[in-house]
Amino acid sequence: MATRGSVKASKNFNATTDAEVLYKAMKGLGTNEDAILELLVGRNNVQRQDIKIAFKTLFGTDLVDKLKGELGGKFETLIVGLMTAPLAYDVSMLRNAIKGAGTDEKVLVEILASRTPQQVKDIVSAYRKEYDDDLEEDISGDTSGHFKRLLVILLQGNKQTGIQQETVDSDAEVLFKAGEQKFGTDEQTFVTILGNRSAEHLRKVFDAYMKLSGYEMEESIKKETSGGLRDLLLAVVKCARSVPAYFAETLYYAMKGLGTDDNTLIRAMVTRSEVDLLDIRTEFRKLFACSLHSMIKGDTGGDYGKALLLLCGGDDA
């Protein structure tokens, strides 16, 4: 599969050699962080999984445990994320979002709005296998109202495919009547339509909605809804328009202003590095007055910053 990721498979890959390099980097006093980050960012996820097997085979110890023992803080979180298979990573992120203190709605929104229906189905079954729990039940027990309903719809992974030409205009009309034309908002209509239609179909609906109402879909959602539901509806709409643009915005707001939302920064960089980070960089440059590279550089430091910049790849200055 052609990928628009910044991380590609290493050409002359040898898992045993890599395992030995990592072992040396962590042996004795002090840790050679540069060697670790350069090697791991220079391999794709499948290769990192092979390195894990080779490491245990050679040294009788778990590579991720060893890395956790040697590294710390945000750098450790990033490296452990890169060492985790993509599906397992999504599953653990959702688990932590639900089982941690309070619900991390941001994680639920980002993952369930941006993944494909098939990916969502895979997440649901992997979650059950890993924790012997039902993801839908866990999320339902932790959320409420129309926010919960839309999450449950997305968890079904049953979005329509393609464009239903005959319902484009009626979808736009129904949304218009449910929001802008009504005193009080009929949230259920937004939830049902935006949760069940394909991205291609929704893009047509947004155009029809704009013609009909004079508003962009996002403007209406901001006016008509609030809280978690608003965030989720906006994420669904943005992902229907462009997943890379959605992540460009996510990354920008993770770093903008005082303090950095490192959890979001790490999650987005790890999960998109082999999917569409090149497109995210392009969208970032279009949307904001700087490149993703320059913003990461200005906002992070140390080995953590170095690793993020390597993940990012080039600077689109």
**What residues does each domain of the chain span?**
86-156, 167-241, 244-312
Q: What is the mean pLDDT of the chain?
A: 96
Has residue 184 got a pLDDT over 80? no
Asked if the domains 167-241 and 244-312 are classified in one and the same CATH topology, the answer is: yes
pLDDT confidence of residue 312: 98
Predicted structure pTM score: 0.96
pLDDT confidence of residue 181: 79
pLDDT, tens digit, 9 for 90 and up, residues 70-83 = 999 999 999 999 99
Determine how many CB atoms are found less than 10 A away from the CB of residue 300.
21
- Going by pLDDT thresholds of 50, 70 and 90, the confidence category of residue 102 is confident
Domain at 167-241: CATH architecture = Orthogonal Bundle (1.10)
At residue 275's C-alpha, the angle toward residues 128 and 79, to 5°, is: 70
- Going by pLDDT thresholds of 50, 70 and 90, the confidence category of residue 3 is confident
Least confident stretch, 5-9, 163-167, 183-187: 183-187
pLDDT confidence of residue 112: 98
- Going by pLDDT thresholds of 50, 70 and 90, the confidence category of residue 2 is low
Domain at 244-312: CATH architecture = Orthogonal Bundle (1.10)
pLDDT confidence of residue 180: 78
> What is the C-alpha to C-alpha distance for residues 289 and 305, in angstroms, rounded to an integer?
21
> What is the C-alpha to C-alpha distance for residues 303 and 211, in angstroms, rounded to an integer?
50
pLDDT confidence of residue 101: 82
With pLDDT > 90 as the criterion, what percentage of the chain qualifies? Answer: 93
- Going by pLDDT thresholds of 50, 70 and 90, the confidence category of residue 132 is very high
pLDDT, tens digit, 9 for 90 and up, residues 283-315 = 999 999 999 999 999 999 999 999 999 999 989
HEC profile for 106-144? HHHHHHHHHCCHHHHHHHHHHHHHHHCCCHHHHHHHHCC
Q: Is 129 exposed, middle or buried (0-12, 13-18, 19+ CB in 10 A)?
A: exposed
- Contact status, residue 191 vs residue 149, Cβ threshold 8 Å: yes
User: Diameter of the chain by CA atoms?
Assistant: 70
Average confidence (pLDDT) over 26-33: 92
H helical segments located in the chain: 15-26, 33-41, 45-59, 63-70, 73-83, 86-99, 105-114, 117-131, 135-142, 145-156, 168-178, 187-196, 199-213, 217-224, 227-241, 243-255, 262-272, 277-287, 292-299, 302-312
Closest by CA position to 3, among listed 51, 46, 62: 46
- Going by pLDDT thresholds of 50, 70 and 90, the confidence category of residue 28 is confident
pLDDT confidence of residue 57: 98
pLDDT confidence of residue 221: 96
Average confidence (pLDDT) over 267-291: 97
Has residue 271 got a pLDDT over 60? yes
pLDDT confidence of residue 85: 98
> What is the C-alpha to C-alpha distance for residues 149 and 192, in angstroms, rounded to an integer?
9
Domain at 86-156: CATH architecture = Orthogonal Bundle (1.10)
Has residue 126 got a pLDDT over 60? yes
pLDDT confidence of residue 39: 98
